[in-house]
Amino acid sequence: MIRKHKEVAICGGLLLIWLTLAVGCSKKQEVGGFGDAAAKVYVAPGTYDEFYAFMSGGFSGQVAVYGLPSGRLFRVIPVFSQDPEKGYGYSEETKPLLNTTHGFIPWDDAHHPQLSMTDGQTDGRWLFINGNNTPRIARLDLTTFETVETIEIPNSGGNHGSPFLTPNTEYVVASTRFSVPIPQKDVPISSYKENFKGTISYIKVDSASGRMKVAFQILVPGINYDLSRSGKGPSYGWSFFSSYNSEQANTQLEVNASQNDKDFIAAVNWKLAEDLVAQGKGQIWKSPHYHNYMDHADVGQSEVVTDVPVLVAEENPGLIYYIPTPKSPHGCDVDPSGEYIVAGGKLAALIPVHSFTKFQAAVAAKEFDGEFGGIPILKYESVVAGEVKEPGLGPLHTEFDGQGFGYTSMFLSSEIVKWKLGTWEVVDRIPTYYSIGHLMIPGGDTKQPYGKYVVALNKITKDRYLPTGPELTQSAQLIDITGDKMKLLLDFPTIGEPHYAQACPATLIKDKSLRWYPIEENKNPFAIHAEGEARVERDGKTVHVYLSTIRTHFAPDNIEGIKVGDKVYFHVTNLEQDWDVPHGFSVMGSTNSELLILPGQTRTILWEPKQPGVIPFYCTDFCSALHQEMQGWIRVSI
């Protein structure tokens, strides 16, 4: 992850250059001169955007859904963070999704949304996203735009290189950003070289249900694995992972992990790994981790899974090769044909592009240049297809337009550089405001990108928007790539830090969108299916209130017999069978959040009254002309 105002040490031989990034007024863009840009992003009232864009919420732990080209925000989907707007992570049904072996964790740092694929193309079924801090992966259902599953990644110290998919969503991958002792043990931090390891995990995705399961992990030498893409076409069956800190430094990484001229891209043969595991070559480790999912009743369940097959990389020849890559590579992207693997060396003065064909030939001819941690290192010259020369400073990520061009984000020089696959010549560049991290072309990582736009996902927005105190909004920029020259069309604000985003044509998703949950299919054990079933049941000090909502009343709306010290569970069922009619529910003095109950759904919240009296509750979502009448009282006695 690249943070604001970064100082980067570039060390080449005897030379030590400090570059301090100072962005701001000097680069302020001239106002005007945008020609027909307004018309190109204008989506007339009542008409739809052409693309859905799913942007990571970064350290907000959420995903935001935008329309392109308008840049309009449609929905924030809570994933790893509690969201009181929706009751997510507060309701009894959704709380289990946030369970981990470290306990209930209502926050994470989400970086990379990934749309599910069939045959290397976006299929519009699911969205996956990683939790970086407490290693997790979540799956969102794109018919409901809700988080339906989370899985904890065992044997991991930080889940950054994740959740990149294989072309048929066979697996989501997860690689460890931080190496740690695996399995964990109490050792001196200075024993990094001897004791620290990384893992690369393959999480199987059930093709019908989407359910995830850790299929196997590969124990790899302890360095920082950063980003990944899977091979496709000729490189199908392989995944590629960028890595840095081949120095294996354990302190002052900004200097000490920037010493080597080259780090590695790890090429992993996951088809071979599958075979080895099937042959029983994996060691079965006891690695407890949580698997949480919404069940058939739309109620969250948590289970602890223990057994994980682990392959030790150095004991399984042919499983992994290291491809030397300058210099502290960050991005690792595969072109639409599957032939080229593009690295973004944060500190490199060029963009190296590897050839899968040359890689295979080099492996066959054993063109090795030593080994690292028991893994063969290929010769750089034997694998590299070409280098994009003088692209700018700080190349990070590359996406493709399907027309034979790569687009690389340049963090330090704050620009997007367009270059030609095969000749490696730079053909265009455009400034971004400011300090671009990832960039995104709709379908830009697939076999057939949709093209049309590139979106710059920027880290800094100084002087682009009205000031809002010391912190300014995060920001994206929409750029037209239909012509020879890239054209800036629009700035729009984003939530959290939009590390990465993915987009697809709206047609893949919009007609499959669920309008309400059929009430007759509501299997929540605390659901009611008609107002006549509404009731209050006491079980010792626990009280279950089966509450119904429909425009415009609660039933029951006068609740008596509650005592101080009771645990009161409100099970609220929304009986509406109509699109876009959620009801809300909140009780005065509740130490929890509200509930937002979608049509046909049941959600439960716990309330513990502390004092006698008569307490109001009401609907929080303006649902009809008589919304203000949608209320009730609870009498609390000693």
Contacting positions for ligand K7E (CB under 6 A): 1-2, 111-112, 160, 227, 330, 396-397, 437-438, 499-500
- At its nearest, how many Å lie between ligand K7E and the CB of residue 543? 46
Which CB atom, from 379 or from 627, has the smaller least distance to ligand CUA? 627
Contact 321, 313 (CB under 8 A): no
Query: Would you tell me how many other CB atoms lie within 10 Å of the CB of residue 213?
Result: 13
Sign of CA pseudo-dihedral 429, 431, 432, 435:
positive
Q: Give the shortest CB-410-to-ligand K7E separation in angstroms.
A: 11
Looking at the Cβ atoms of 3 and 193, the one nearer to ligand K7E is 3
| Rounded Cα distance, 147 and 598, in Å | 14
Burial letters 567-598, b for 16+ CB under 10 A, else e: ebbbbbbbbbeeeebbbbbbbeebebbbbbbb
Per DSSP, the chain holds a count of helices (H) and strands (E) of 6, 47
Using CB under 6 A as the binding rule, whether residue 622 contacts ligand CUA is answered as: yes
Name which of 417 and 623 has its Cβ closer to ligand CUA: 623
Supply the minimum distance, in Å, between the C-beta of residue 197 and ligand K7E: 21
Q: Are 431 and 27 in contact (CB under 8 A)?
A: yes
Q: Which residue lies nearer to ligand CUA by CB, 174 or 596? A: 596
Q: Applying CB under 6 A, which part among 235-243, 425-433, 441-449, 622-630 lies near ligand CUA? A: 622-630
- Smallest gap from residue 475 Cβ to ligand K7E (A): 14
Residue 225 CB, shortest distance to ligand K7E, in Å, is 12
278 vs 626, beta carbon nearer ligand CUA? 626
Residue from 266, 623, 634, 636 binding ligand CUA (CB under 6 A) = 623
- Closest chain position to ligand K7E (CB): 437
Q: For residues 116 and 124, what is the distance between their CA atoms, to the nearest angstrom?
A: 7
The verdict on 630 binding ligand CUA (CB under 6 A) reads yes
Strands of the sheet containing 51-56, edge to edge, are 73-78, 62-68, 51-56, 501-505
Residue 324: contacted member of ligand CUA, ligand K7E, none (CB under 5 to 8 Å, by partner type): none
Told to check if 627 binds ligand CUA by CB under 6 A, we report yes
**What does the block give as tokens for 427?**
């053909």
Contact residue for ligand CUA among 205, 454, 619, 634 (CB under 6 A): 619
Establish if 575 lies at the interface with ligand CUA (CB under 6 A).
no
Residue 27 or 553: the one with the smaller Cβ distance to ligand CUA is 553
Q: What is the DSSP string of 129-170?
A: EEETTTTEEEEEETTTTEEEEEEE-SS-EEEEE---B-TTSS
583 binds, among ligand K7E, ligand CUA, none (CB under 5 to 8 A by kind): ligand CUA
Nearest residue to 600 (alpha-carbon basis) of 583, 576, 570: 576
Least separation in angstroms between CB 474 and ligand K7E:
11
Reference 18, options 32, 8, 6, 4; nearest CA is 8
With contact defined as beta carbons under 8 Å apart, do 97 and 107 qualify?
no
C-alpha to C-alpha distance for 341 and 335, rounded to whole angstroms? 7
Q: 389: which 2 tokens? A: 């020369």
DSSP letters along 391-411, please?
Answer: --S-EEEEEE-SSSEEEEEET
- Answer whether 140's CB lies under 8 Å from 79's CB: yes
596 binds ligand CUA (CB under 6 A): no
Instruction: Give the residue with the Cβ less far from ligand K7E, 124 or 394.
Output: 394
Q: Which does 619 bind (CB under 5 to 8 A by kind): ligand K7E, ligand CUA, none?
A: ligand CUA
The least distance separating ligand CUA from the CB of residue 623, rounded to whole angstroms, comes to 3
Residue 499 touches which member of ligand K7E, ligand CUA, none, C-beta under 5-8 Å by kind: ligand K7E
- Cβ neighbours of residue 503 closer than 8 Å, sequence gap 6 or more: 51, 52, 53, 54, 68, 440, 442, 443, 450, 455
Minimum CB–partner distance for residue 607 and ligand CUA (Å)? 18
Contact partner, 621, from ligand CUA, ligand K7E, none, Cβ < 5-8 Å per class: ligand CUA
d(CA 233, CA 12): 37
The token duo for 551 is 């425009």
Phi-psi region of 453 (alpha: psi -120 to 50; beta: other; left: phi over 0): beta
Compute the least distance from the CB of residue 173 to ligand K7E, in Å: 14
What is the distance between the terminal CA atoms of the chain, rounded to a whole angstrom?
Answer: 54
Q: How far is the CB of 226 from ligand K7E (least distance, A)?
A: 8
Which of ligand CUA, ligand K7E, none sits in contact with 437, Cβ below 5 to 8 A by type? ligand K7E
Residue closer to ligand CUA (CB basis): 273 or 581: 581
Nearer to ligand K7E, 309 or 498 (CB): 498
Residues in the interface with ligand CUA (CB under 6 A) total: 8
Write down the least CB distance from residue 178 to ligand K7E, Å: 13
Could you list the residues that contact ligand CUA (CB under 6 A)? Answer: 549, 583, 619, 621-623, 627, 630
